[in-house]
Amino acid sequence: MSVMMRALLVAGISLSGAGIATAVYANDIRDSIEDRQSLMKLVGAHNRGLKAAVDEGNAERVQSLAGELQGVAAMVPEMFEPEAHTDNADGIKTGSLPAIYDRWDEFVQLAKNLEDAAGALSDTAASGDAAAMTDAFQELGKTCGACHSQFRLRTS
């Protein structure tokens, strides 16, 4: 992802978090899938950045990235509307399983858990305690795994 694209996504997310803008709903399934895949790639990029920052003991960077991730996580449920998954994507590559929509409330709760875990990591990083940051980052990873194990198609 280019620096410009990341900056634009972060700016859009920041605006959304401030209530100035909201995620744009796609007019069709292809746009919906592409939009949410971009959002989930941003989650992944933040997680990779967080791992590096935690490994370096860079509490300031962890706090910043975790705070951004908290805002991104808040957008996850709305990016999974309209319903689009492996069974109705008309050949569009997606790993989203129909179970997301069959168990919507559980999916939304797991997204909230990610948001909360990112907030907790940000708060923990403010203390500068490297061991506590590592523990909080591991908890964050568990929230990702809890959702992916139930709602994402395994590709390997």
Q: How confident is the model at residue 81 (pLDDT cuts 50, 70, 90)?
A: confident
Bridge partners of residue 96, in order along the sequence = 152
In a domain, 156, yes or no: no
Q: Looking at the domain assignment, is residue 30 inside a domain?
A: yes
> Residue 19: beta bridge partners?
none
CATH number of 27's domain: 1.20.120.10
Full domain range(s) for residue 71: 3-151
- Report the run of H or E that residue 9 belongs to, with start and end: helix 3-17
Residue 128 falls inside a structural domain: yes
- pLDDT tens-place string over residues 25-71: 335 788 889 999 999 999 999 999 999 999 999 999 999 999 999 99
Q: Would residue 134 count as lying in a domain? A: yes
* Phi, psi angles (nearest 5°) of residue 152: -125, 135
Q: Please report whether residue 62 resides in a domain.
A: yes
Count how many domains the chain has: 1
* Secondary structure (3-state) at 18: coil
Q: How far apart are CA 52 and CA 59, in angstroms?
A: 11
Output the pTM of the full model.
Answer: 0.80
pLDDT > 80? residue 7: no
**Nearest CA-CA partner of 84 in 26, 16, 154, 40:** 26
35-49, 75-89, 141-155, range with the lowest pLDDT: 75-89
pLDDT in tens, 99-142: 999 999 999 999 999 999 999 999 999 999 999 999 999 999 99
In a domain, residue 18? The reply is yes
